[in-house]
Amino acid sequence: MLAFTLTSHTEASDSTMHTRSTIKALTLAAGVVLSTHAFAQPRPAAPAAPAGPVELVRSGDWAAYSVTDAQRNRSCYALATPRTADPAVGPRRDPTNMFITARPRQNVRNEISIVIGYVFQPNSAANIEVVASAGNQRFAMITRDRAAWVENPAQETQMIAAMRGGRELIVRGTSSRGTATTDRYSLTGLGAVLDRIAAECR
């Protein structure tokens, strides 16, 4: 069973205030806890925990879930685990996952985030490389604690298109101990999962 609590990012109309996404997820099956990420004043805690997630579809290496919060707002998430992780998950590294989020009430679509399984080196960058026969594409990630997000949210649409046409996704980062990591995700099944999320969370 999986349980999630996520708060999506909002971009204020006032250019002096820019709140990137906050995400907290508890994946009971894998024992993963996502850290909160924010670049503005922290938002109040939700008044109640959301209902447990419902699996919508599983395709290839990806699965889709929906969850409804206490205000009856529905959100959907795609979730995958890397096929290979270097260094491997073990005593010195927690499980790592990638999420793609849709929160219709907040006008959030295809928000990409990663929980890496360790604490990132402070002020370090990470990157995602999408491997495809048409050519590889790289996207910069911004990091905080154990999580990473696409540095330029405007590129998320481009990145999703590249992922739909790709065969593999490579995540590279650096831990607080200076260890370089490389995680490889299969993109098999992603298209079907994203299509289901688009239908369920319009």
Taking the mean position of all CA atoms in its chain, how far away is CA 151? 13
Give pLDDT, residue 3.
Answer: 37
- Whether omega for the bond prior to residue 87 falls within 30 degrees of 0, making it cis, is yes
What CATH number does the domain containing 131 carry? 2.60.40.1880
pLDDT, mean of each 10-residue run, the chain (202 residues): 38 30 34 32 45 91 94 93 96 95 93 96 94 93 96 95 96 96 98 96 90
Mutual angle of helices 156-165 and 190-200, in 10-degree steps: 130
pTM (predicted TM-score):
0.76
| Number of folded domains that form the chain | 1
Domain interval for residue 59: 3-200
Identify the bridge partners of residue 77 per DSSP, sorted by sequence position: 65, 101
